[in-house]
Amino acid sequence: MYRTDAAPKDDAAPKDTGATSAVNPLAATLDLLGDRLTLALLGHAFVSGATRFNRWLELTGAPSSVLSDRLNALTEAGVLERSPQSEGSDRHDYLLTELGRATWPILVCIWGWQREWTAEGAWQPDLVHDPCGHRGPAIVRCGTCHAPVTAHETDIDMDAEAVWTVTSGARRRSKRGPARGAADEDIQFNAVMEALGDRWSGAITGLALAGTRRFARFRSALDISPTTLTDRLGRLCEARILERPDDSGREYRLTHRGRALFGVFVFLIRWSVLAFPQIPGPLRVRHLTCGNLLIPELQCRGCDGPVDPVSARLEPIAPPPRSVAATPRS
């Protein structure tokens, strides 16, 4: 259902209309990608060229049933495709599709944010721009006017009717129990996962970027219980993504650190448009400087040139030694 190539219209159409009217593309995107292990799998595909189950198993240390669950979800979503390792073989490589390759700037922004805002940032893959040799995070620019863009130069419209239902996080957790697998030990995504990691947090951070501040407003936009919402808002405050300017009121706003996730979100929103081209998304980002809807691109801080998978590469950094607590259980 995430595929960009439309299914045959005639027989599928009536059923699809009913099914897709409830889809919130960004919530569905967070549902799929706002997951520690999923991001780790994609990261290893981009950085190490991983295409095989055993390679990901070795790189992530995730339990094989959980890994296989995520690879299946990514394949169903059209992010990966299976290709036989040799003719007649029942072993498969998992290759990134075009939609899969389009997650590259999301990961680049996540790692860039971590480098600038978190202690573990030094262990994230290093972005190297080949034309000029610059190393380090890229900036976001407008694909139409090419001016660099931050949250301040944009206006994010929110569809007030859109309901953000996030389901698979809860489903996966209840199925797997509280232990979320060894992927929790993957240092690559620890801090950013506070903002994206359980999907609800991602939806809340997205709504906050669109200007939502009041508890009641978050509550009406999200199909979420007040208890869960209070819990997630509290966790986002602890993670210094949100803050409460006034302790007596129930208002929350993004910190500078939270606002710096703008790049991650504009690329998530962009990806949701590619994945669900027929369905209007809940958030629309307009670049105020030129007045156009923002089509984000990455720009090199060294030479101002475009940064993409062709002109740039990600160099792996050796992770720090794992703590005793993080030693995989056997």
Using CB under 5 A as the binding rule, whether residue 132 contacts Zn ion is answered as yes
Using CB under 5 A as the binding rule, whether residue 145 contacts Zn ion is answered as yes
User: Would you say 68 or 144 has its CB closer to Zn ion?
Assistant: 144
Query: Of 158-166, 177-185, 271-279, 297-305, which segment contacts Zn ion by CB under 5 A?
Result: 297-305
Using CB under 5 A as the binding rule, whether residue 142 contacts Zn ion is answered as yes
Per the CB < 8 A criterion, the answer to whether 187 and 39 are in contact is no
Using CB under 5 A as the binding rule, whether residue 129 contacts Zn ion is answered as yes
Of 59, 38, 33, 138, give the one whose Cα is nearest residue 316. 59
C-alpha distances in angstroms, 50 versus 58, 77, 102, 285, 318?
10, 19, 17, 33, 16
Number of chain residues interacting with Zn ion (CB under 5 A) = 12
Using CB under 5 A as the binding rule, whether residue 144 contacts Zn ion is answered as yes
Alpha-carbon Rg for the chain in angstroms:
20
User: Would you say 19 or 145 has its CB closer to Zn ion?
Assistant: 145
Of 201, 148, 172, 213, give the one whose Cα is nearest residue 62. 172
Using CB under 5 A as the binding rule, whether residue 303 contacts Zn ion is answered as yes
Q: Taking the complex as a whole, how short is the minimal distance between the CB of residue 154 and Zn ion, in angstroms?
A: 9
C-alpha distances in angstroms, 24 versus 1, 38, 163, 164, 190?
12, 20, 7, 6, 26
Strands 126-129 and 80-84: unpaired
Using CB under 5 A as the binding rule, whether residue 287 contacts Zn ion is answered as yes
User: Would you say 67 or 300 has its CB closer to Zn ion?
Assistant: 300
Query: Of 2-10, 157-165, 279-287, 318-326, which segment contacts Zn ion by CB under 5 A?
Result: 279-287
Q: Which residues bind Zn ion (CB under 5 A)?
A: 129, 132, 134, 142, 144-145, 287, 290, 300, 302-303, 305
